[in-house]
C-alpha cells in the first residue's frame, strides 16, 4: 500500500536534513500543508527552533490576485511561515525524491470568525463558534471554493487532500479548552452543531420548520443532558431527543448544504489543476458528523472526488462504508496517528495497516512526521520496510 506522511513547511524550511530524513522513512509521498489553522507545534529536530506558534489560520504561500477587493479572503502567515513557505518546502521535498500533495484546511478559521462574526455558526442558544464558518452562507461558500482551488493547486503539487470541507461543530480544541465537563455524546454534539444564522433559519424554513420553534426544541432536548442524562447513541439518540421528522428535516438541510459545497470545491480544484491531479477529502461516513473529517455519504463523495482519507484512530471500522461502494480506482486512505505522545501507535502500524487493507484501504496516511519523536520515526521506518 502506498503511504504518505503529513508535514508542515516549518518542519522542512531551515532544516537541510529534513527532506532526506522523511524520504528515509520509506514513504514515496508527503502531504504538505498549504493552508492551515492556528496551532502550536513541536519541531523536535529542527536546528533553529523547537516550538512553532501559528497564531491564526493562514495560507502558507503568497495569496493570488483573485482576492483583491473581497471582504472574505485568506490571511497571510506570520513569521512561522513567511513568503512562499509551502513552495520552498515542496521544492526541497521533491529534490529528495518525494511526491508532494497539498494539505488544505478549509472551514476552520478562528480569525475569520473573530473579524467577520456574521460568518460563524450560531447555536440554538445564540452562541457563536468563531472557529466554524457557516458553510451555508453564499459569501462563505464562495470564499471556501476559491481557497480550495488556489491552495490545492500549488506549483509542483500532484494532488490535494481537502480537510474540514463540511460542517464544523462544537468539537474544537480551543485555547485552554474546557468544554468536556458534560458528556454530550453523539446526539448532543449534533444538536449543539445546528446553526441558526439567518441563512440556516431560511434553510430550515424550506424544510417546513419554524426556526424559532426549532431552536426552542433544541434547547429543550439538550436540557436533560446538561443535568447528566446520557443520550442514546448515534442518530437514534438525535431522533429520540428531537423527534424523527424534525431531526430528518434538519439533516436534509445540512446534508444538501455540505454535498453541494463539496461538489463545487472539487470541481473548482479540477478546473484549476493539470490532468491527473488527485483530489481527496478527509471524511467520515456518517453524514451528520462534524469537524476536520466531516460527514459524507460514501456513495456520493466517491462519485465526486478521487477518494477519501479516513480517520482510524479508533480503529479501521470507518473504512468499510467507503470500501463497500466498490468504486474502481477510488483511493481509500486509512489515516493512522504515529505520534506516541498524541495517542498514536507507531509500534502497531504493521498490524493496523494489514487490518486496514483487509477492510478495503488502498493507501495509508501517517500523522505526522514533523511532530513524531525519533523513536516513533524508527518504528515507522521499520513498519514501512515490510510493505
CATH number at residue 340: 3.20.20.80
Mean pLDDT of 174-200: 89
Confidence of residue 169 (pLDDT cuts 50, 70, 90): very high
pLDDT at 179: 78
In a domain, 371, yes or no: yes
Q: Are the CB atoms for 380 and 338 separated by under 8 Å?
A: yes
In a domain, 315, yes or no: yes
284 DSSP 8-state letter: B
What is the C-alpha separation between 369 and 5, in angstroms, rounded? 6
Q: Using alpha carbons only, what angle is made at residue 35 by residues 31 and 41, rounded to the nearest 5 degrees?
A: 75
Confidence of residue 32 (pLDDT cuts 50, 70, 90): very high
Q: Are the CB atoms for 325 and 361 separated by under 8 Å?
A: no
In a domain, 206, yes or no: no
> What total number of domains does the chain contain?
1
Mean pLDDT of 374-384: 97
Identify the residue whose cell numbers are 455519504. 297
In a domain, 370, yes or no: yes
In a domain, 6, yes or no: yes
Retrieve residue 160's grid coordinates: 490535494
Q: Are the CB atoms for 115 and 130 separated by under 8 Å?
A: no
Which domain does 143 fall in, by range?
Answer: 2-180+256-384
pLDDT at 386: 85
In a domain, 204, yes or no: no
Of 69-73, 175-179, 234-238, 348-352, which range is least confident?
Answer: 175-179
Q: Is the dihedral of CA 126, 207, 244, 251 positive or negative?
A: negative
Residues of the chain with pLDDT > 90: what percent?
94
In a domain, 201, yes or no: no
In a domain, 369, yes or no: yes
Amino acid at each position: 500500500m502506498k503511504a504518505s506522511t503529513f508535514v508542515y513547511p516549518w518542519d522542512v524550511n531551515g532544516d537541510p536534513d529534513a527532506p532526506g530524513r522523511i524520504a528515509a522513512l520509506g514513504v514515496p509521498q508527503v502531504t504538505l500543508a498549504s493552508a492551515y489553522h492556528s496551532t502550536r507545534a513541536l519541531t523536535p529536530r529542527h536546528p533553529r527552533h523547537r516550538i512553532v506558534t501559528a497564531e491564526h489560520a493562514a495560507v502558507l504561500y503568497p495569496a493570488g490576485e483573485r482576492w483583491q477587493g473581497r471582504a472574505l479572503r485568506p490571511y497571510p502567515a506570520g513569521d512561522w511561515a513567511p513568503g512562499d513557505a509551502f513552495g520552498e518546502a515542496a521544492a526541497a521535498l521533491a529534490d529528495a525524491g518525494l511526491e508532494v500533495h497539498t494539505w488544505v484546511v478549509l472551514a476552520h478559521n478562528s480569525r475569520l470568525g473573530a473579524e467577520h462574526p456574521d460568518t460563524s455558526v450560531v447555536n440554538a442558544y445564540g452562541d457563536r463558534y468563531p472557529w466554524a464558518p457557516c458553510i451555508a452562507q453564499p459569501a462563505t461558500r464562495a470564499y471556501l471554493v476559491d481557497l480550495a482551488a488556489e491552495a490545492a493547486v500549488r506549483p509542483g503539487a500532484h494532488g490535494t487532500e481537502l480537510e474540514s470541507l463540511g460542517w464544523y461543530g462544537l468539537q474544537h480544541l480551543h485555547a485552554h479548552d474546557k468544554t468536556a465537563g458534560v458528556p454530550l455524546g453523539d446526539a448532543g454534539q449534533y444538536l449543539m452543531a445546528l446553526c441558526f444564522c439567518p441563512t440556516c433559519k431560511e434553510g430550515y424554513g424550506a424544510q417546513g420548520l419554524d426556526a424559532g420553534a426549532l431552536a426552542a426544541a433544541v434547547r429543550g432536548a439538550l436540557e436533560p443532558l446538561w443535568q447528566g442524562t446520557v443520550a442514546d447513541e448515534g442518530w437514534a439518540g438525535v431522533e429520540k431527543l428531537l423527534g424523527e421528522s424534525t431531526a430528518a428535516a434538519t439533516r436534509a438541510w445540512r446534508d444538501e448544504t455540505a454535498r453541494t459545497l463539496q461538489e463545487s470545491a472539487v470541481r473548482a480544484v479540477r478546473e484549476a489543476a493539470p490532468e491527473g491531479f488527485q483530489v481527496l477529502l478527509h471524511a467520515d461516513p456518517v453524514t451528520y458528523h462534524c469537524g476536520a473529517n466531516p460527514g459524507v455519504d460514501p456513495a456520493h463523495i466517491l462519485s465526486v472526488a478521487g477518494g477519501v482519507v479516513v480517520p482510524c484512530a479508533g480503529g479501521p471500522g470507518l473504512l468499510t462504508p467507503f470500501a463497500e461502494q466498490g468504486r474502481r480506482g477510488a483511493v481509500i486512505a486509512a489515516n493512522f496517528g504515529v505520534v506516541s505522545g498524541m495517542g498514536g501507535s507507531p509500534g502497531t502500524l504493521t498490524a493496523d495497516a494489514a487490518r486496514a487493507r483487509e477492510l478495503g484501504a488502498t493507501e495509508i496516511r501517517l500523522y505526522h512526521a514533523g511532530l513524531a519523536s525519533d523513536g516513533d520515526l524508527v518504528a515507522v521506518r521499520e513498519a514501512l520496510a515490510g510493505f
